[in-house]
Amino acid sequence: MRGQYRIFADYHQFYLWDQLHGSNTLIDFTEEDCLRRVAVAAHVIAIQPDRNMTVPVEIGLLDRPSAEPFDAWDHVVEASLAVPSGILECHECTGGSIDRWRVTPGPYRVRACFGGLGTIDAFGIEGGDHYRVDVWPAPLAPVVLLKDYGPRRVWIEAGDHPL
């Protein structure tokens, strides 16, 4: 199952979380989290788009990871998410819930793909950036950067940073 969304990435972030546990979890962003564009805490993952604007996001709930090569993406990172309640939710940073899904309670792997990052203007306002997030059942594992686009020009140079 895949869905298309327009998510307001206020403060350069939106979340996937366990509905009953994630919203109460604070994330202490590190510089490494910002460079990876993903931060993880218990029951929550913060995905960090490069624009502090409404961005297009495709979210897929899968049985297994996609075998699609990463050629079409600028940046790809995977992290784990525990969903003990069986309710996975996508939530804006300062807005509300985007969607929620009933899933089998347990651990999941989340792959965040970032595309069109080179199209973002110097002010971080306009751009053809787009994002895809795939989620599938998998054992908990460390965060892995699978393809690195490099530093976030907009955050690092402009000082617009969640730290």
Residue 43, pLDDT > 50, answer yes
122 versus 5: which is more confidently predicted?
5
**Would you say the pTM of this structure is higher than 0.75?**
yes
Q: What are phi and psi of 130, to 5 degrees?
A: -150, 160
Fold of 2-158: Substrate Binding Domain Of DNAk; Chain A, domain 1 (2.60.34)
Confidence of residue 53 (pLDDT cuts 50, 70, 90): very high
Gap between the Cα atoms of 143 and 2, Å rounded: 23
Give me the residue spans of the domains in the chain.
2-158
Q: What is the pLDDT of residue 25?
A: 76
